[in-house]
Amino acid sequence: MELVKRARELERAGRSIIHLSIGEPDFTAAAPVVQALATAVDAGSTGYTAALGLQPLREAIARHCHDSYDVDLDPARVVVTAGASGALLLACCALVDPGAQVLMADPCYPCNRHFVSAFDGVPVTIPVGPASRFQLVAATVASHWSDAVRGVLLATPSNPTGTSIAFDELGRLVDVARERGGFTLVDEIYLDLSYGQRPRSAVALGDDVLVAGSFSKFFHMTGWRLGWLVVPPALVATFEKLAQNLFICPSALAQHAALACFEPEAMAIYRQRRDEFQARRDYIVPAMRELGFGVPVEPDGAFYVYLDASAIGPDSTLLATQMLEQAGVALVPGADFGSHEPQRYLRLSYAASMDQLHEAVHRLRHWLQDRRA
């Protein structure tokens, strides 16, 4: 975020900056969703909703699970939340006791650690690398499990790496936690931005698995702050009580508008945009390799590439600063995502137009040539 602030300062001073840093789609909500928002405003649909969310929206999310992942989901298990962050906070509030450890990968989305810490839990990050596609595997989780561990938090596809956990391995990870009486919490906010094969959801792995989803990424509604959490049937009442006390309810207007996300016209738009993200990935990965950056694992989801910058320089934080100041291209250093070899990696977000990606590669090519001169 400090680099982003500096990028904004440079822009205010008249510099042209290409933002490949923030994990936010350059697309906005589809037109049918925007129209549904206007309709909800005109209808005065601005009052509190049920703490668990609008029943029609819970049902629509369950249908989406069936249509997209071929999994039957009882809408009663769906909790609509104030973004996926709200979903993960509720989950940690319900499941994490003071001092309880929660296992997660390093690198990972930094807020995942903070969600656990917010309820006096202890995030335990496990170093992962290219050999496991920067993801946890069952054997590693089993070897790190102790009496202090309460559960495991997974993200597939992952931020910052854009890599997914193979579904068979995900099942084995769930089994490891289940056999030890722990929970599995799976962040699937990028699941609909999967490339190359039909995505499979952890919802299929059992009623005891908690799964977070979001309207921010695939549906391009970042500022609308709307997500969901699939919870075990026995815990629905617990989550309802927590939601009532902590949030009252998610945004009513966002919920009414989100119903339009699942209409055929809107879904056609979102699928076309997913294809555009894949085309961007297919351009930027070989382009960065040609410039001399390593891409040890090709991303298969989300809109990130985790770049090995060690051939360019030994300190990715310094490199990110130099790229911004000298080339006008903003990337994120690995230090944001954990303590395992952070100086080696940079995260590139290709949630930018193809024209912007071409210009970024052009600028970086000249910047590297100047460095080598």
User: What is the per-residue pLDDT for 373?
Assistant: 74
Cα atoms found within 13 Å of the Cα of residue 168, Cβ hemisphere only = 0
Helices 83-95, 236-246: crossing angle, 10 deg rounding: 120
Query: How many C-beta atoms surround the C-beta of residue 327 within 10 A?
Result: 21
User: What is the per-residue pLDDT for 3?
Assistant: 86
User: What is the per-residue pLDDT for 140?
Assistant: 98
Residue 15 has pLDDT above 90, yes or no: yes
Backbone φ/ψ region at 228: left (φ over 0), alpha (ψ -120 to 50), beta: beta
Q: How buried is 22 (Cβ within 10 angstroms: 0-12 exposed, 13-18 middle, 19+ buried)?
A: middle
Q: How far apart are CA 186 and CA 346, in angstroms?
A: 24
- Average pLDDT estimate for 295-300: 98
Average pLDDT, the chain: 97
User: What is the per-residue pLDDT for 107?
Assistant: 98
Strand partners, 79: 229
User: What is the per-residue pLDDT for 21?
Assistant: 93
pLDDT tens across 192-247, in order?
999 998 999 999 999 999 999 999 999 999 999 999 999 999 999 999 999 999 99
pLDDT tens across 131-189, in order?
999 999 999 999 999 999 999 999 999 999 999 999 999 999 999 999 999 999 999 99
Residue 298 — pLDDT band, cuts 50, 70, 90? very high
Task: Please name the residue that has the structure tokens 């039957």.
Answer: 72
Residue 112 — pLDDT band, cuts 50, 70, 90? very high
Residue 51 has pLDDT above 80, yes or no: yes
SS in 3 state form for 85-105?
A: HHHHHHHHHHHCCCCCEEEEE
* Alpha helices (H) in 145-246, listed in sequence order: 167-179, 236-246
User: What is the per-residue pLDDT for 4?
Assistant: 86
pLDDT tens across 56-101, in order?
999 999 999 999 999 999 999 999 999 999 999 999 999 999 999 9
pLDDT tens across 319-349, in order?
999 999 999 999 999 999 999 999 999 999 9
Strand partners, 125: 104
User: What is the per-residue pLDDT for 261?
Assistant: 98
Domains and CATH numbers, the chain: 2-28+266-366 (3.90.1150.10), 32-263 (3.40.640.10)
Q: What percent of the chain has pLDDT over 70?
A: 100
pLDDT tens across 306-326, in order?
999 999 999 999 999 999 999
Residue 22 — pLDDT band, cuts 50, 70, 90? confident
Q: How far apart are CA 149 and CA 124, in angstroms?
A: 9
Residue 1 has pLDDT above 80, yes or no: no
209-227 burial, b if ≥16 CB within 10 A, otherwise e?
Answer: bbbbbbbbbbbbbbebbbb
User: What is the per-residue pLDDT for 197?
Assistant: 87
E strand residue ranges, 107-182: 122-127, 149-155
